[in-house]
Structures are given as structure tokens and as C-alpha cells.
Structure 1
């Protein structure tokens, strides 16, 4: 092979050589550090907002109060959030995700699919109720506002919970404990029933002072699931 051809091959190999390993390591280290700092700043904003909610019993506070409580800057806040609404949405999504994980873990402790589903229904009801007369504005005031103004965000926030209930209904149906069919849609109906009852403080309409129990909520939901026939696809929207 001619010398000129060898030089050409060497040049081509040199031109497409990879970035030096030390440079990649330096950039990756810098990126990891920046990501960690950003996560810490975000968490401080979230913690501060959570503290304000606990103190005030409402979401009626300002971005400036969050900034002052977190001991960070207004500029830093708007680098991470479009506004107070987005921060509250993050808290709402986190709370629902933690609740879904708690329900899934509790369900795994049961062997019987129907008992798993019952445990999930009762636990979601207890999670959603005000505790010891303490208001939960993220699940009352803010959730209602969000439902009206941003229904798509509400649906996205509930996806982890919906996935858990869909799976549990599928398992119960597979065991023969309940009729099969449309598990995702039925899971959505069950969840909405539970959470609506809980946000009414568990007090029945008509002035009765005795709150619903979790067992009553289960009996009602089970009656609907166990007695439901598979709907005609032509009559109802798809899952």
C-alpha cells in the first residue's frame, strides 16, 4: 500500500476519535453536582410550602412567603417553578404517589386477591379523610380548583393510584371473586367514589352525624363491582 494511502487512513481515524475520557468524567461530575444542587433547592421550596400548609391549614400563602421560609431567592424559585400553582401540583403528585406506594405495599401482604382489593379501598379512604380534624387543603381546596381548571393534570397525578387499583381489580377478577371486564374504568369509578366520600368528611347527607366507616365504603364499592355487568363497548367510552 502506498505511503499516501496509509497517511489518509491514519488521518481519518484521528479525526473520528472519541472525546477524551477525562473530559467526559469531568463533565459528568459537574452535571451530577449541578443536578444534586438543583434537587436540594427544589426540596427546600417543597418543604417550606408544606410547612406553611401545616401552619395555616390552607394553601392561601404567597410565593414570597415560600421564598423567605426556604431562605432562597425569588429568582431561584422561578428557575424551578412557573409559579405557586406548579409547586402545589408537585406536592399533590408526591402525596398521591406516596399513597399509591403505601397501598401497593399493604396489598402485597395479603394472599387473597379480594382481601387485597378490600384493603386498598379501606386504606385509600383513610388516607383521603381529614385526620383528627386537621384540614388537608391539597386534597380539598387545591384539588377542587385543579379539577376545574386543569383536569388533564389531575388525571396525570392520579395515574400511579389508578395503576394500583386496576391491577388489584384484574387480580380479583382473575380469581373469580368479581366479574371480569373493563378493570381500568371500574378502578377509576371506585377511586372517585372513595375520595369523594372522604372529602365530605365521611358525614352522610341529610344531617346524620355518624361518619361513614371504611367497612361501609368497601361494602358499597364491592356491591357495585360484584354486581356490575360488563358494559357494551358501543354504549360506553373505551378504557
Structure 2
């Protein structure tokens, strides 16, 4: 029989300290997350991504470090959210422009024209140039950071490419792949204009539209009709 002096027979006790229950982690709050992203977006517009400081963002939003980590795991995750937030208004602008098109061919041309605003529209260029450049650089070093924003920009273009494929106006394409190629053509023209600032918009648009639509298999007659205004302007 085990005696009372045997430690194994004694009830388990905790001596010298009190066990406190672990604090339950609060669920994310959409309003708090919005405040953090808004504050971060303002910082990025003023100082760029390199100048983004979590401490400054929280000071601007009047929130604590604990509030930050309830909503984001890292600064990189916050930057990704900022890129996506800034992209939303750009996507809406592109969709509005594309909505005036009568068919997928015109819609693709409208997307190209809308994205060229980054190079030729002074107001849009001032708003998005630096962020676009930084997002492009991050697409190589930290691709996951910009993937959601990049995907959002391409989404309306992919939709029209898919629609055109189903209607037979585009030939033998994979919409997602074609959208990336079109983006590459437009981005190259945009960067060239930023570097030199002496290209004519109509000329850049015509070249981009012709090149991209030919790659999509659009009939030459349709391309000529669509770019006739550009040629007249040149």
C-alpha cells in the first residue's frame, strides 16, 4: 500500500505561482484593417514602398502593434494589401473604359489605351507611376507580394480574351497567357515613354494595338478599321 509520504499518491499541485488562462486572440476587424491599409497607402504615395514604416503607419492610424498583428503577419503582407487597394480604383477605371466597347476586339484595344494612360495622362501618371515601378520590381524579387494586384489588373482583359475566343474573333490563344503578353507590350511602351517623354501617344497606341491584335489572330481588315483614327491623327 502506498503511504501518504509517497509523492505519486499526492494530488498534483502548483506551488509558488498561479496559472492564468491564455488570452484569447481577437478576431480581425474589417474597420481596423481598412484604417491600417489607408494609412499605409498614404505613406506609400508620399514616400514610396521603401519609406513605408509600420510604426509610422500605426501612428498615423492611431493603432497599436497588437492591432497590426491581428491583421497582418508582416510588413510585406501589408505592402501586398496596399498594392491591391491601389489597384482596385485602376481596375474600375479600366472596366468603365472597356464597357463602352461593342465587341471583344474593341474591349482589348480599350484596355491597352487605358493602361497607356500611365505613360501619357499626367494626372494618372503622377498617381501611379512610382507605385507601378515598385510593384514591377517586386514582381521579380517577391512575386507573391504583387500577384493579387497583377491578377486584378489582368482580370478584365482575360475576360474579354475568353469571350473573343468563344466568339471566334480570337484564334488559338490561351487567354491568361495572351493577357500577360499584352501587358508586357504595353508596359514596355509605358517605360519607354517615362524614360524619354517624347513619344506620340497615337503612334504608341497604334503599334501596340496592331501588334497585340495580330497575335490574337484578328482579321487584318478589323485591325485597319480600329487603328484608322490613329493613322489620321499621326
Give the total of aligned pairs.
190
**Shift in alpha-carbon separation, 1:51–1:184, aligned structure 2, 3 A:** closer
Match of 1:44 among 31, 35, 46: 35
> TM-score scaled by structure 1?
0.66
Is 1:189 aligned to 2:176, yes or no?
no
1:205-224 matches, cutoff 5 A: 209-213=197-201, 215-224=202-211
Please point out which of 61, 65, 70 is paired with 1:70.
61
* Unmatched segments (≥5 aa) in structure 1: 1-33, 231-239
Q: Report the counterpart of residue 140 of structure 1 in structure 2.
A: 133
- 1:14-36 alpha-carbon deviations (Å, 9 max, x no partner): xxxxxxxxxxxxxxxxxxxx87x
Q: Residues 140, 171 of structure 1: CA spacing in aligned structure 2 closer, same or farther, 3 A cutoff?
A: same
The residue number in structure 2 matching 1:53 is: 44
Mark the CA change 1:216 to 1:152 in structure 2 (over 3 Å): closer, same or farther.
farther
**CA drift at 1:229:** 7.5
Does the 8 Å CA contact 2:41/2:86 hold for their aligned counterparts? no
Q: Deviation at 1:188?
A: 1.0
Q: Give the gaps of 5 or more residues in structure 2.
A: 1-25, 218-234
Shift of 1:41: 0.8
